[in-house]
Amino acid sequence: MADYKVNEVFESIQGEGAFTGVPSIFVRLQGCPVGCSWCDTKHTWTVDPEKQKSVEAVMAEQQESEHWFLLTPAQLISLFANKGYKAKHVILTGGEPCMYDLMPLTNALIEQGYSVQIETSGTFEVKAHAETWVTVSPKVNMQGGYEVLQQPLRIAKEIKHPVAMQKHIDELDQLLARGHHQSGVLVYLQPISQQKRATQLAVDTCIARNWRLSLQTHKFIGIE
């Protein structure tokens, strides 16, 4: 059975994209080489063996850290039950979750009646159950030097693109011009850091293209 390096697990409300407002269990996996400058989870980038701790120790932490624990899919599902989580939607995020083979984990979750969403940069192949909702937030020209791959775009149900300036819109146009995405894929623009200029650009572009606006609702209402 596969083991996964987990940075944190918590229950909250999804604040972004198509599932905004849906009660969700977030599973944040450790490790990401993409290197987005605006990333708000940089503590998940490095997998340091010295930072491994017990499940109990990491779950008891009250602030973000580089600590992680190792769990199998069955152990993770048991953790949900032990914590008394009620949500039936699980979001696999990171870090970059697709650094891992997510087929065993997504299979186990779906067999237990959960719906599953993956949030990925699109720079690694997605290995997951066919019913998984794949959200690609394409990261173009990041310091890690990784390219956005065709396979994640092809299976994505949702493309959620962070924008701060026009060049980010242009980058998305170039990705979509490749034609590797599904015809009915939902396209969201998400202003980086809720900047006023970025937000107006996103609003104007969404109206012009008939795309959708994604705001980080959880940050507005002060939840994790």
Annotated binding site for substrate: 13-15, 28, 93
Nearest CA-CA partner of 169 in 196, 144, 203? 203
How many distinct helices (H) and strands (E) make up the chain? 7, 9
Give 214's contacts (C-beta < 8 A, 6+ positions apart).
16, 17, 20, 160, 188, 189, 190
**Contact, 4 vs 100, CB < 8 A?**
yes
Known binding-site positions: 13-15, 28, 32, 36, 38-41, 93, 95, 137-139
Binding-site annotation: residue ranges for S-adenosyl-L-methionine: 38-40, 95, 137-139
C-alpha torsion angle, residues 157, 43, 86, 54 (rounded to 10): 130
Q: Any bridge partners for residue 12, and if so which?
A: 24
Read off the DSSP letter of residue 84.
T
Residues 6+ apart with CB under 8 A from 23: 11, 12, 13, 14, 86, 87, 88, 89
User: Which residue positions form the known binding site for Mg(2+)?
Assistant: 41
Contact 123, 94 (CB under 8 A): no
3-state secondary structure of 76: helix
Positions at the binding site for [4Fe-4S] cluster: 32, 36, 39
